[in-house]
C-alpha cells in the first residue's frame, strides 16, 4: 500500500492566519490526491480532489497544490469554522490510503 | 439527494465477526463507474480506509486487514456490507460507509454516512 505522511500532526493558529499543511506519498501518485476536513461527531467533508480542484460548495480560501509525491493544502485566511482535522488521501491505486491527519486548533 | 446510512450491532464480542450494512438512497450501487467503501476511525486516531466494492462487484481491501475483511453488495436492496472476522479491541472504531465519486479520471469520497460506533468488548 502507498503510505501517506502529513506534517505537522497538529498546529495552533488564529483567525485570519494563513495555514499550510503538507502531505507526502511514499511513491509518485501523479495528482491523485484528495483533501478532507473532519470535525468531531460529523462525517468527513471533501475539500479538494485531483490535488488542486475545489469541490463544489467549498470556500475559495481553501486551495491545494502539488503533484508526484509532495502536496500542500492552504487555507488563506483561517475562519472559526475551519478548526478541525485535515486528512490527505491518495486515489492513485485501488487502495485508498489516508494520511495520519493534521489537527488545526486555536 | 444521495444518502448513506450505516446499521448494525454497536457491540461485538472479541473473536466474533463484525457485520455492518450501508443502505444507499438516491442512487444505485450498480451505477456505472462508482465505488462504495468502508472507512473507520478508532478512538483518538485517524481515518483508515478498509475496503471498497465497485459497481461491477470487484472488491479491494487494505493489505493489513485483507485476511479478515469481506465487502459485498446487494443490488436489489441497494445495500453494501462489511464483515470483519476475528475482531479484537483494536477494531473498536466509528465505521463510515461512503461513495467514491468521480470527475473525469479522478476518484474521491464525496458522500458519507454519519458513522456508527462499534465497540469490541466481552
Assess contact for A2 and A28: CB atoms under 8 A. Answer: no
Mean pLDDT of all residues in B18-40: 94
Ordered DSSP codes for B47-112: -EEEEEEETTS-EEE-GGGTTTEEEEEETTTTEEEEEE-S--GGG-EEEEEEEEEEETTEEEEEEE
Mapped onto helix, strand or coil, the DSSP state of residue A39 is coil
| Residue ranges of A 64-93 with Cβ closer than 8 A to chain B | 85, 87, 89, 91
Rounded Cα distance, A88 and B22, in Å: 24
Q: Give the pLDDT of residue A93.
A: 83
Which residue in chain B has the smallest CA separation from A37?
B47
pLDDT at B105: 83
pLDDT of residue B104 exceeding 90: no
Over residues B31-89, the pLDDT tens digits come to 888 999 999 999 999 999 999 999 999 999 999 999 999 999 999 999 999 999 999 99
* Whole-number pLDDT of residue B100: 94
pLDDT tens column, A7-21: 999 999 999 999 999
Q: Give me the pLDDT at residue A16, please.
A: 96
Say which DSSP state A55 is in. P
Q: Which residues of A46-76 are buried (b: 16+ CB within 10 A; e: fewer)?
A: bbbbbbbbbbeebeeebbbebeebebbbebe
In A11-70, the residues whose Cβ lies within 8 Å of chain B are 31-32, 34, 36, 38, 42-44, 46, 49-50, 53, 55
Say what the pLDDT of residue A1 is.
82
Residue B103, pLDDT score:
87
Report the residue of A26, A43, A58 to disrupt the B interface, i.e. the one with the largest count of B CBs within 10 Å: A43
pLDDT at B68: 98
Low-confidence ranges of chain A (pLDDT < 50): none
Amino acid at each position: 500500500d502507498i503510505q501517506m505522511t502529513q506534517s505537522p500532526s497538529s498546529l495552533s493558529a488564529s483567525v485570519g492566519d494563513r495555514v499550510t499543511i503538507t502531505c507526502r506519498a511514499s511513491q509518485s501518485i501523479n495528482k491523485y490526491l484528495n483533501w478532507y476536513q473532519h470535525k468531531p461527531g460529523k462525517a468527513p467533508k471533501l475539500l479538494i480532489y485531483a490535488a488542486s480542484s475545489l469541490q463544489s460548495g467549498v470556500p475559495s480560501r481553501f486551495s491545494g497544490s502539488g503533484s508526484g509525491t509532495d502536496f500542500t493544502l492552504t487555507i488563506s485566511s483561517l475562519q472559526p469554522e475551519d478548526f478541525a482535522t485535515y486528512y490527505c488521501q491518495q486515489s492513485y491505486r485501488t487502495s485508498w490510503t489516508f494520511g495520519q491527519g493534521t489537527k488545526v486548533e486555536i | 439527494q444521495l444518502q448513506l446510512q450505516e446499521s448494525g450491532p454497536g457491540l461485538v464480542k472479541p473473536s466474533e465477526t463484525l457485520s455492518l450494512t450501508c443502505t444507499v438512497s438516491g442512487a444505485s450501487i450498480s451505477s456505472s463507474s462508482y465505488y462504495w467503501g468502508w472507512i473507520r476511525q478508532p478512538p483518538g486516531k485517524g481515518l483508515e480506509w478498509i475496503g471498497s466494492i465497485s459497481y461491477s462487484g470487484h472488491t479491494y481491501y487494505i493489505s493489513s486487514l485483507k485476511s479478515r475483511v469481506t465487502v459485498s453488495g446487494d443490488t436489489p436492496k441497494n445495500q453494501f456490507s462489511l464483515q470483519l472476522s476475528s475482531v479484537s479491541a483494536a477494531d473498536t472504531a466509528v465505521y463510515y460507509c461512503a461513495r467514491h465519486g468521480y470527475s473525469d479520471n479522478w476518484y474521491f469520497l464525496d458522500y458519507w454516512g454519519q458513522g456508527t460506533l462499534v465497540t469490541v468488548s466481552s
